[in-house]
Structure 1
Amino acid sequence: MAGIPKLPGYSFTDPTKQKFHVSQTFNIRNGYRIARNNFCGIGGTEIASNSARFVGANDCIRFDPSLTYGRTKTDVPPLFKPHYALYANRNLSFDGFFKQGILDSPNEFYRVRRVRILYYLEDDTISVFEPPLRNSGINQGRIVKRGRVPKNEKGDHWHWKDLNVGLDIMLYGIVYHTVNCDKWTREYMASQGLIMNEPEEMPEDPYIFDRQIKAKSNFTKTKSNVDKLRKFLEYDGKVLRFKAVWDDRENEYGELMRFEIFYFLSDDTVSVKEIHRKNDGRDPYCMLLRKVKLPKRYNDTPPSYPAIYLELTPAEVTEYYQPINFQIGETIFVLGRDMLLYDCDKFTRDYFQKALGITQKEAFSIEDPVPPKPPKPMPPHDGFGSLEDSFQNTKTFIIKPYRKNFTMSTVNANKYLKYEMVMDAVHPEDTIRRFVMMYSLGDGTCKIREPPIKNSGIMGGTYLRPTMLIKPGSERLNPDYYTPVDFYIGAMISIFKQRFIIVGADLYVYRYMMANNDKFPPEIIENLRNYMFNKGYLKYDVDDKMKEIVESENKWDEDADQEHLKTVEEELKECHDKINVQSDPIADKAMRDKIYAEYEDAMKHKTGVLPYGIKPYGHECANPVFIGDKKSSVCKPDEEVQFSSFTPKHVDTPEEIRAKFYGGVLKGHHDVCDGSKTIECIPPPHLGPLPEREGGPVPEPIMTTDPELPASCKTKTVRFVEDSGDRCKKDRHDLCNVNRDISFAGCTDYQKECIQLDKH
């Protein structure tokens, strides 16, 4: 059957094969999955690997001895547990290390790395872990992944019987040396008949040990006395600004680059900013140095310092730049660049002057002297058009008209200076000719006109159209033109090789010179003034000048009289000071106001509510009261007498006497309400209508006339002016009990008399 080809019609099916499923390779015993050693193929056929040809030398152990020697009666075996379930989560732990070689390092030649080797008993696998070491700088954790590790080239694997303390174990090319194991590992190995060696000492890593020694140094640093918070609060926002330049032209493609250096006083840091110019071709990164402390010698570090990947720390820097190191004209080094300071701002100069007592030098230029450009040659004038138009056309390719001064033309439009001229005649018939020259202030042109002369054959008219007159002897391409400074009486001017003499001028010319005297020399102004005076054109000016002189003299006399009166008053004041007489008008007025205020205050009650509705003294009296003392008319300088210009008198009226009586009651009220004193409240008497005054003469107001005194003794009188307004206020309450009846009072008899006088 095996030799028949597998073609249609040549295949046969075994009718005894009824099951074609894949046979099971595992059995379940006591709840655990166990692999089967003997199993059949698909359809129940025997597997070729179970035949006798595949039986090895040790396959005899598969046979049960009981088949040969018979079964013996034994104890009941324990419940079955497979090997991986019996030793699940049980492993052997060994502490060890391996040495790792270090290249290109002057501080260490090798490194000791501690590891932990775990052997898992359930499946005979091994894994290696490295415990974490703080700040080691290397990757830590799992070194060898869990798995069966080959022992040699024959294919053998490491077994727990091969492990012990003090043994070198090679795992994937790395030799691990075990120095110790845990307690459970020792007990388990002892139960299996293997005694572990004594533990060894774990070697120290030289680099880690040296770093720990340095970390435990007994040397301390003295704390700085600088109060950083106070310094920040005092100097926050205050920055010293310097302008610097770095000359890199010694190198290829180098150039002169400008920088701005900022020194922050709050924390002594420095930042450097590059100043870019338009189209300089440099990258737009302006900050050359961020805000850091700038060391004076940045390369002053030990040879062992790894400057490639570590920045400088305060431990490596010996000295930093301070404000005193930044001075104009000095050179500072910014990380290898020597920068020259050439300017600073005003705040920086003030800070150095006030805080450090140093005066910064003046700023200097760093630009190379630029050779002057050669003047552009002017082509010769071809005679067409004016010289200004021709010169304008040589500046640009596009022809543009000459641009005049629009402002001067607008301000001085239609303003002309007129002069009278005569011709410096060569022929006798030209001596009678007269010319009028008009100089235009708007565009600087001169127009000459000749008036006609009857019966002379001279028709007159325009002699020269408006033209800018060129001075003789000036350059042809850069001519000098005549200006009003060149025109004065007697001046000789040359106009197209014809000489004229100025013999007269208009009055407006003189006015213009006086209004713009800074544009003309004094000699020319004096020349025109003499001419105008001789002609009689300055008559009104002379009259105004004489009037001004007379007013000035009168004012001087008045000032002299005022000064004399002031001297007399000062002498009189000195006399009064010697005899202690107060005669200062300002002080007298202040004293009068003070006495008047005191008198008015005495006439008024201290509270807003009058006691028992008493009507105060009325001041609406038409006849004022004058109060004052008669002073002695003789000044006695020999006697020390205390004089006073004010001695006011006060006469109590009946209403004031009654007011004083109730004033005592009011004082008792204040003692009760405002103080701790208690008084007995007495009910007030019933106040009916005021009785009529008995018949008799009506008292007149008190009048005091001014004494007749000489002028030498100054006497002051005080007049108390009455206030306006209604003083008859009737909303007065009782003092002790506000619930009592309120009594009202009308105007007093004295006030009624005043009202009657007012009516008359």
Structure 2
Amino acid sequence: MDGNSVTVAMVTVAGKSGLSLGWKKGAPLVAPTPTPLLSEEDLRDLTRKERQLQFSTRRRSKTPPKFLPDWAVLDKKVLRFRGYFTEHVEGGAAQVYRIRPVVICYYLVDDALYVTEPRTPNSGLDQGRLLSRQRVPHPDGGFWHWTHLNLGMTLSLYGRHFVICDCDPFTKEYLLSEGTQLNNPLPIPTDPYNLLRQSRAESPTRTSDLRPHSAPAVPLRFKGLVLKFDAMVEEVEGRQLRASPAVLLYRPADLTVEMRQPSYFDHTEIKKFSPIILRPVKVPLRDTRRGEEGEVREWLTPRHLIPPTTVTVFGRSQMSQAPVVRPNQTLFHDPSPDLDYYTLRTPQFSATLESPLETECDRSFIFTYHVIDDTLELTELVRPGGLGGRVLSRTRVPKPKVKGDEEGAGRYSGPDFYTLNDFYIGATLDTWGRRYTITGADRYVLNFVRQHEEKVSPQLLSSLVKFFGQEEARKEKTDEQN
């Protein structure tokens, strides 16, 4: 440091702005007050002008509007359409095709599509999301855009064809505001399977096991009561009589009779280990006719089972001690023109399936016809590579309507059902969309038809005689060759 140099530090003391301290040769001193650049009058003028600018009443310029990008404007804006697609059912026993309604959503923010099917109770279908939210390629190139969508058009998404029928108010307003000419909305067709289910719903004329309110209640002493009888069931096979033990169960609460094979377990385990011979059903007495209005029915009651006695259960007699069941040759009730009879043996017919597939040409089936209530059972015979087994449980099968009526499952909602006269050799039966051709029958059918020739159609009898005649001729020719 030079000896003549002075280091001055300007320090402002609170309340005393005119004092300054400095250093000279290591000793503190008071420096002279610097001369201000502005006078006191100039400072007052400057303070007055600043206040005028700060509290001025002039208008300020408006701020520019806030900018919003497209993704913010279109966020959560969705076009919602309602439509349906048709699903064909291959090999369905009750329907040929299904109409499945859907909801199609189009997201404007990213041009993505989302398809879902509303869930319906007890539908048996895997409903819900059909297409996740994504952009879908357009067949003509690019992706599907909202400009491609309109009412009445078909939207093809990954092999499924959705028909757009209607839209919600927001979608309609948005499309019209963008200049789109909307077509007229279309109704969603009714599912034929739902129509079939509605036709089978409860109605005032449908018979039910529920007792009406006006009917007398079952006495408490009859509830849960089961009468058990040991019996021997005799069946005629050819010319031989075969007897087998059975258990007859009678329930006084509903007057039903059930027959099972005997079990070596306790009586409480009968249902679990005993095969059924006759399901629980009300048994009429002897030649009591059914189906006539005003007729007084007589049912089997406990007083008819007091041994020793003989009763008839569907054409078979039960005798004292161990009631014995024997075949009854009187199968028809003569005054009734219908095929209304009681028998435990049923006619059986062989059939083949009409199918364009070569893999189904060797499939063979057996139709079992129950004349007591005009019900059918269909069973497939076991074949190499196939499982076989039951195809159709015992039920009444309606005939299809004539061509030109309602298509799909509605074709089978008519009042006509298949009867024994429809099972002539060569006949074709349309059973819930599948066609079967009758190719043969067992000899029991021929004997049965000959005994009741006046109650069956001549076409059935002639076809059976011709079929068994050809069968006998083939057997004779085979014996001669051997």
Smaller-chain TM-score range?
0.3 to 0.5
Report which of the two has the higher share of helix: 1
The structure with the largest alpha-carbon Rg is 1
TM value normalised by structure 1: 0.27
Could you say which structure has the greater relative contact order, defined with CA pairs below 8 angstroms and 6 or more residues apart?
2
Would you tell me which structure has more strand in proportion to its own residues? 2
Structure 2 length as normaliser, TM-score? Answer: 0.40
